[in-house]
Structure 1
Amino acid sequence: MSINDMTVAYDDGDIDTNTSTAPSLNQLVEIRYSRRQTLMGGLSAMTTAVFGSALLAGCGDDASETADLTVTATASGASAAGRPVTLTGTVTGTPESVSWSQVSGPTVTLANASGNVATFIAPAVATGTELTFRFTALKNGLPASATASVTVGAPALGFTAVAKSLADTVAVPSGYSVTILYRLGDPINAATAAYGNTGSDTNFAQRAGDHHDGMSYFGLSSAGTPDANSSTRGLLALNHENITVGYLHPNGPTNFTAAGPRPEAEALKEIEAHGVSVIEVTRATAGAWSYVQSSSFNRRITPNTAMQFSGPVRGDANLRTRYSPDGTTGRGTINNCANGTMPWHTYLTNEENWAGYFRRLSGDAAVRTAAGRARQNSSLARYGISEGRQGNYFWSTVVASDPTSTIFSRWNATASTALAADGTADFRNEPFQFGWVVEIDPFNPASTPRKRTALGRMNHEGCQIGRTVAGVKPAFYMGDDAQNEYIYKFVSNTAWSAADADATDRLAIGDKYLDTGILYVARFAADGSGQWLPLVFGQGPLTAANGFTSQADVLINARLAGDALAATPMDRPEWTAVNPATGEMYCTLTNNSSRTPTGTRAVDAANPRAYTDPKTDGRSAGTGNVNGHVIRLREAGDTSEATSFTWDIYAFGAGSDLDPATINLSGLDATNDLSSPDGLWFGLPSNASGQVTPVMWIQTDDGAYTDVTNCMMLAAIPGIVGDGGTRSVTSTLNGATNTVTTRIGKAPGATLRRFLVGPKQCEITGIHSTPDGRSVFVNIQHPGEDATNPAAPTSNWPANQGGATTAATTRPRSATIVITRDDGGVVGL
């Protein structure tokens, strides 16, 4: 994810619908109407008794009289999946009790089933399906009952598209509400003072960090253990990718040059504002969400937090540092972008643009070569740590007040000739301690996070587990977020066991599934097929003859291994998401300014566009694949263990006014045009948004379409791989022309719709929901990032959300929001 702050040019380096169990015709007549009732109601009453309310267009008013009671039942409300339905029973007379029960249709949970008025959320169904319910009143042990029915339709987007906007607010559809939950600087314990937001606040190890990003919600029981069904109390784990450095200090950063020295307190604040938060969140009876400031679960994990290495690279010579001479431990995690939610209730956070934080001075390469570590030079260069780099924020220039402290000097990776060649006396090997997937147990604040080295080292954007099937080895899908990098998957050596979802030693379950297996890289073919190529030492070109020394070396240098296997360079692979109904994997390819019609980075079937993107605000036009696209694949045999797949492109980002032949290939219009897709997530299978035809959410991190709109979030109900066809696309750029044939999905049309637009200069990133899908958490990152002076911010969000009056000098803050439907339904449907 690209960052541009006010002081530095940042370098990234099936629901069962069988109604056969319904009572027979004779049973319905016998149960529902006595002879007396039939005589009273005549033919009309008999008809309703037999056919229920199927004749009543979605509601019932069947009536019954027994034991001096007369009852009626009706159903009202929306009849679409995910929407609330109300059942109302009325009684004439004085019953001893009343109750609702379900007669037919997919099983739902009835709220207030022992009352006159019960409610439920309409389930996801493939086609229109009738659900029937019986209202029963009892007196002297004799029942009087009536039924009501409602026909539920298949899942569909249930909101009007939000217009594009340049306003400084979060805009959502009518009928939805936004709550600000957790902002930059918010304290996570009772002892830490409220955030002043003036740049003078300290102790970010006990405050919310900056640049909220990937995020997962974990249901929490009253006993403080995982509860996969809890939608009112939970733990929220979220990443703090980066910082807008100017807003963190009273007047911006001091001595902000390579010469430094940076002030110790400023640098410490900047470091601690990175990492991860784990916070407890609750929903009050009235429906409002808040975080629990004094919760014992609250925790900040920063770049200074102790870590353990696990998997094949643990103890490797390349991990040995002054802090960890044996290469088994390390400190912290940084530039954490997307995430992963494990079925055993742990959180995966992923180190993305970590390389830019390191200083590496001229002459370092010669020192490594002389020490017999020339291999490290090619590795460092391949990951973007070239000689002459000064390191983002210049932390290594700090002169620490404690001479034994290495929390600043560790960011200088320059090898010293005066120190041990194995790196145990300096931090030449510190860059190899980053670029990993990190597993955190959010339920145990005392646990040490583990870096899972079997999943490879790269600019990890996210790590999304595929569908879990008992007896089948699970797969974990990942993107390497940089131009012309690769898509990967890791297949565990261990077949899935559902019992592991309830284990109490959650990190031990992570050991079981994440420490041994095969890492693969993707190659896409022009005919719509693809292969997963194994990154295994000794196989194919991954041999000593080609510079690889061990499996640890292959994993440390996953990019070099991908190069050797001729994997397909992609247009910045970012978030991955798996459709819980089909198992298909989607990946956002955000953009690629180096994509060209011909040459080394020539267009290909999987990355078919190179063009000039015009601007309307006077800025220079962008070139390459400026607006990005979303690619998807389906594993052969629909199994995570497959080594081949088929693929197509779900949608191409573009402005609705751009050429449909060469740029706007998906036919986007004003309700759904977008640029630079980034965040990606499917609704959970525990609610209607993740069932039958699940909802997919797309978030943008855009620098191209921001002359027209702020960044946004869209909802989609995608089809399946192969539902479209082929398309011939001609790219013309800088005098070069090339035509390729690609695979493109069915045009999204109304099944893709803009749901949210964010405030000025933000990125929309990070999304998860409660199990019931009725509360969705979203992160708003770096609003107002383009300001050049902290005293004149270019955004005042979130203080101004909802039209609140605020001073023009109020500094913006990254924040987590909660989105709910005013009618209590599932968000998006």
Structure 2
Amino acid sequence: MNTTTDIIDFNDENSNTTYNSTFAEILHARVSRRDVLRTGVALAGAATVAGLPLEASAQSVKTAQKLLGFKAVPKSRADSVLVPAGYTASVIYALGDPLSADIPAYKNDGTDMDFDKRAGDHHDGMEWFGLDANGQPSTSATTRGLLAMNHEATTDEKLSSFFIHADGGTSTLPRPAVEVDKELAIHGLSFVEVRSERGQWRTIQNSPLNRRVTQLTPVEISGPARGHALMVTKYSPNGTKTRGTLNNCGTGSTPWGTMLSGEENWYGYFNRSANDDAARGDKSVIALNRYGRKQGEASRHGWESAGTDDKYVRWNNSKIGSSVDGSDDYRNEMNTFGYIVEVDPYNPTRMVKKRTGLGRFAHESAAYSIPKARQPLRFYMGDDARNEYIYKWVTKELWNPADATAADRLAIGDKYLDHGTLYVAKFDASGRGEWIELTMDNPTVANYSKYKFADQADICVNARLAADAVGATKMDRPEWNGVHPVTGEVYFTLTNNSNRTINPDPEKKAQLMPDAANPRAYTDMKKDKAQTGNPNGHILRLRENGGRGKPTFTWDVYLFGAEAIADAKSINLSGLTEDQDFSSPDGIAFSRRTGLCWIQTDDGAYTDASNCMMLAAIPGRVGDGEKVTLNHTKADGTVVPVTTFVGKKPTDMSLKRFLVGPKDCEITGFCETPDGKTIFVNIQHPGEGTKQADIADPSKYTSQWPANAGYGAGKRPRSATIVITKNDGGVIGS
């Protein structure tokens, strides 16, 4: 969700006061032959990723040399999607599009119903799952497949998701049940079959694989917290189930062919009564406050006010029952959200699973390490809130390549995602860092004075508190992450952080000084408005060091977001030009066909110059740049030096702007066909700046996309998926 302060930002939670055929082309695109020889990059070590073979050919190398051959698109504030010359972007799947043969076309006037059989809202993270001619799973299919997609939220002002209601909806409590029912359905996940026929992509409305997951869909609790006391609710007295998945943002996939979805800002959908702390009188109050749900604070949509039906009551997270265990109310309901969710996209009959072992926090994407036989898998994750942390899950079981083609994909998920070790990252000023184990075997966790953990399930459910205990490094909103398909290095977007300051106020405990991994604190002017902290964000990368003993890594900052004209010594440390500058990096993904790194923005700081965008990059390696010292001057004149490690500055052939979206949107979600000739990208919440009071006057909508691009009825803006192809049929990015 956009980070401008003119719009309610539920992503800016602030409770922490404390790779197909050719790896060779990727290699040639990113690392020179001399570098390969010098550093000993071993292709054999990355022989397969998700069942795709390693091959090399002269043609692939030739293709690699053409990467980033397109002309960079300029910044734009137009209400349209801008891509380079020689490319075509078309809308394929938008809010309200029907997923069943009996559902009519979307009227887009607020009267549509049946959202449990339509595309949800706020298209976000997205994955491609190929289908062969017989509709069976295929890792090589390029013209038929499933798009598995998150629907994060809704465009709203005050309480109402106003674009989906005829008159803009109700902004006061109690909320009408008919409105809430729409909103419950519009959140969650969707799976839609897409096909390319004679070069034109379309959705298949009557596909048996089409599916929605909404807030009423039964979901299984899996991992350490399954059946735990913290999961007991009126709906599931034995703590093994819940309903729905909420505020899903980043995605990921697994080597065995399933989708991973991260539940992000779920906390704001719950309500707690003004006297709930006293009613509880136990350590759950500490956990609730740490997860951003203080007593008496209003919920995001007031769903709990829509009636006495259980589907509404569950959003009241107060202790209102008389039971000791919570089996007669929903005091523990919030504990059932905040996880990495696994879904088998090929099997609509299988229940969704929440993998509690990977920790509970504001999850974005989950990216896995290059699978190597007889070694553990690693899954990397970020907690998207100011001052939160970077995490890693290491599987107990060693990777067996045969599991990549197993028939029961969720059973393989049980094997690797329910048993393992959760770690949190601590960065130091030397350019190294340590992964700290979050288990009861770590005495610092087990003996934490501010919260007494009962067991491993408690640690997983309250992972933020465990990370607090070990002094993990507070980061500038860790969002998506991606793993370089050759080097295995991990890239994390750090979107921004208004809490960074040279002069922290002792009364504002969330404020903190810059540090080596989050080194900037500066003022960025947006028209006449001063934006402080780290308004433009940065992209950090790390390389696992391996070896025995404590797991460590080496890190640097790949890119600093900044305006091209910003000071090169304190802000534009990456030397970005007008064809490269960006702000608030959010989505990040690597192409397994070309090795390109795709960077997407969710920005409010630089929207006076450009709408949100997507860039294509050929990154280098950790340590390819230099050490830089920033000298921050405090109010009293004291100079505070902060040393950081800056990656090699990009050139016009290693970083280019590829796409700019319509007004008020976020660019998010990326997936591609295995041949790299088609990519899918999501345009989220165009027109977000529209006022609810202006719902009847389309001329006052800040965006009318995609209707103004010729897609669908009405003029209300809609989140949508676009498909991008190259006019000559070539590989995207070449």
- Pairing of 1:403-422 with structure 2 (within 5 A): 405-416=309-320, 418-422=321-325
Paired position in structure 2 for 1:225? 136
Aligned counterpart, 1:597: 502
Task: Give how far 1:5 is off.
Answer: 11
Q: For residues 67-124 of structure 1, what are the alpha-carbon distances to aligned partners after superposition, in whole Å with 9 as ceiling and x for unaligned? A: xxxxxxxxxxxxx989xxxxxxxxxxxxxxxxxxxxxxx9xxxxxxxxxxxxxxxx99
Partner Cα distance (2:389, 2:62) in 1: 46
1-side partners of 2:646 and 2:364: how far apart? Answer: 24
Q: Could you tell me the TM-score, scaled by structure 2's length?
A: 0.89
Tell me how far 1:271 sits from its aligned partner.
1.3
| Superposition map of 1:566-577 within 5 A | 566-577=471-482
* Matched residue, 1:253: 169
What TM-score comes out, normalization by structure 1 length?
0.79
Q: How far apart are 1:252 and its partner, in Å?
A: 1.0
Distance of 1:734 and 1:346 partners within structure 2: 52
Q: Distance in 2 between matches of 1:226 and 1:642?
A: 39
* Matched AA of 2:313: S
Alpha carbons of 1:155 and 1:719: their partners in 2 closer, same or farther (altered >3 Å)?
farther
Look up the match of 1:537: 440
Alpha-carbon offset, residue 542 of structure 1 = 1.4
Q: Any idea what the Cα deviations from partners look like across 1:676-727, whole Å, max 9, x if unmatched?
A: 000000001xx2x1xxxx2100000000000000000000000000000100
- The aligned residue for residue 816 of structure 1 is 721
Secondary structure of 1:187's counterpart equals coil
Looking at structure 1, the residues matched to 625 and 8 of structure 2 have their Cα atoms a distance apart, in angstroms, of: 44
Q: Tell me which amino acid in the other structure corresponds to 1:517.
A: G
- Give the whole-Å Cα distance in 2 for the aligned partners of 1:806 and 1:224: 28
SS at match of 2:398: coil
Q: 1:780 to 1:11 in 2, by over 3 A?
A: closer
Q: Which residue of 1 aligns with 2:534?
A: 625
Instruction: Map 1:562-711 to 2 at 5 A.
Output: 562-599=467-504, 601-616=512-527, 618=528, 620-637=529-546, 643-684=551-592, 687=593, 689=594, 694-711=595-612
- Check the 8 A contact 2:617/2:655 in 1, yes or no: yes
Q: 1:411 to 1:15 in 2, by over 3 A?
A: closer
CA contact (8 A) 1:4 1:785 kept: no
2:277 to 365, 390, 394: 365
For residues 315 and 280 of structure 1, do their structure 2 counterparts lie closer, same or farther at Cα, with a shift above 3 Å needed?
A: same
Paired with 2:371 and 2:300, the residues of 1 have a C-alpha distance of 40
Deviations 1:480-499 (A, max 9, x none): 00000000000000111111
User: What is the Cα deviation at residue 154 of structure 1?
Assistant: 3.4
CA contact (8 A) 2:251 2:262 kept: yes
The aligned amino acid for 2:648 is: K
Matched residue, 2:122: 211
Instruction: Indicate if the aligned counterparts of 2:2 and 2:666 stay in contact, CA closer than 8 A.
Output: no
Name the SS of the counterpart of 1:390 in structure 2.
coil
CA distance in 2, matches of 1:732, 1:318: 47
Alpha carbons 2:247, 2:265 under 8 Å: kept: yes
Which runs of structure 1 show a deviation greater than 3 angstroms over 4 or more consecutive aligned residues? 1-18, 129-132, 150-155, 731-737, 804-807
| Aligned twin of 2:645 | 743
Instruction: Tell me if structure 2 keeps the 8 A contact 1:598–1:738.
Output: no
Three-state SS of the structure 1 residue aligned to 2:90 is strand
Q: What is residue 390 of structure 1 aligned with on the other side? A: 298
Residue 328, structure 1, aligned to residue 240, structure 2 = yes
Q: Deviations over 1:770-815 (max 9, x none)?
A: 11110000000000000112223111101122xx5999x7111000
Match of 2:311, SS state, is: coil
* d(CA) in 2 for partners of 1:269, 1:17: 49
- 1:152: Cα distance to partner? 6.0
CA apart distance, 1:379: 0.4
Whether the aligned pair in 2 keeps the contact of 1:577 and 1:682 (CA below 8 Å) is yes
Q: CA deviation at 1:466?
A: 1.2
Alpha carbons 1:576, 1:586 under 8 Å: kept: yes
Of 446, 461, 468, which residue of structure 1 is paired with 2:371?
A: 468
Tell me if structure 2 keeps the 8 A contact 1:11–1:392: no
- Counterpart of 1:248 in structure 2: which amino acid? I
**Is residue 2:710 matched to residue 1:799?**
no
Relative contact order (alpha carbons < 8 A, sep ≥ 6): 1 or 2 greater?
2
Letter in 2 for 1:786: G
Q: Is the 8 A contact 1:12 1:355 kept in 2?
A: no
3-state SS in 2 of match to 1:604: coil
Q: 1:4 to 1:591 in 2, by over 3 A?
A: closer
Give the Å deviation of 1:413. 0.5
d(CA) in 2 for partners of 1:632 and 1:596? 23
Q: Secondary structure at the match of 2:279?
A: helix
Contact 2:4-2:605 within 8 A present in 1 as well: no
- In the other structure, the counterpart of 1:825 is 730
Partners of 1:268 and 1:16 lie apart in 2 by: 47
- Name the aligned partner's letter for residue 415 of structure 1: K
Task: Return the alpha-carbon distance in structure 1 between the equivalents of residues 421 and 152 of structure 2.
Answer: 28
What letter corresponds to residue 769 of structure 1 in structure 2? E
**Distance in 1 between residues matched to 2:29 and 2:574, nearest whole Å:** 27
The 1:655/1:223 distance shift into structure 2, 3 A limit, reads: same
Q: CA deviation at 1:660?
A: 0.6
1:158 corresponds, among 66, 69, 72, to 69
Q: 1: CA distance between counterparts of 2:59 and 2:480? A: 38
CA distance in 2, matches of 1:154, 1:795: 38
> CA–CA distance in 2 between the matches of 1:580 and 1:7?
37
Residues 292-307 of structure 1 mapped to structure 2, 5 A cutoff: 292-307=204-219
2:261 maps to which of 349, 359, 372? 349
In the TM superposition, what is the alpha-carbon distance from 1:384 to its structure 2 partner? 0.2
Which residue, out of 462, 472, 480, partners 1:557?
462
Distance, in Å, in 2 between the alignment partners of 1:642 and 1:768 is 35
Deviations 1:227-274 (A, max 9, x none): 0000111011000000011111112121x23xx111111011011110
Q: Provide the rounded CA distance (Å) in 2 between the counterparts of 1:773 and 1:732.
A: 48
Cα separation, 2, equivalents of 1:210 and 1:743: 39
2:186 aligns to what? 273
Distance in 1 between the 2:448 and 2:644 partners?
Answer: 36
Amino acid at match of 1:536: T
CA distance in 2, matches of 1:718, 1:771: 21
CA contact (8 A) 1:6 1:785 kept: no
In structure 1, what residue type is equivalent to 2:226?
A: R
Which amino acid is the alignment partner of residue 346 of structure 2?
A: F
Q: 2: CA distance between counterparts of 1:561 and 1:349?
A: 23
> 1:778-789 to 2 correspondence within 5 Å?
778-788=681-691, 789=694
Query: Superposition RMSD on alpha carbons, in Å?
Result: 2.4
Q: Give the counterpart of 2:250 among 307, 326, 338.
A: 338
Q: Which amino acid aligns with 2:616?
A: A
Amino acid at match of 1:565: V
Is structure 2 residue 663 aligned with structure 1 residue 760? yes
The correspondence for 1:426, drawn from 329, 342, 350, is 329
1:390 is displaced (CA, Å) by 1.6
Unaligned runs of 5+ in 1: 19-79, 83-105, 107-122, 133-149
Alpha-carbon distance in structure 2 between the residues aligned to 1:680 and 1:429: 33
- Cα shift at 1:203: 1.1
Identity %: 50
SS in 2 for 1:408: helix
Measured against aligned partners, the alpha-carbon deviations of 1:365-394 in whole angstroms (never above 9, x if no partner) come to: 11111xxxx111110000000011121111
What CA distance in whole angstroms lies between the structure 2 residues aligned with 1:208 and 1:152? 36
Instruction: Verify the 8 A CA contact 2:426 2:436 in the aligned structure 1.
Output: yes
Residues 806 and 187 of structure 1, relative CA distance in 2, 3 Å threshold: closer
What secondary structure sits across from 1:560 in the alignment? helix
Deviations 1:463-484 (A, max 9, x none): 1111101111000000000000
Cα 1:5/1:609, change in 2 over 3 Å: closer
Residues 490 and 268 (structure 1), Cα distance of their counterparts in 2 relative to 1, 3 Å cut: same
- In structure 2, give the amino acid aligned to 1:358: F
Shift of residue 598 of structure 1? 4.8
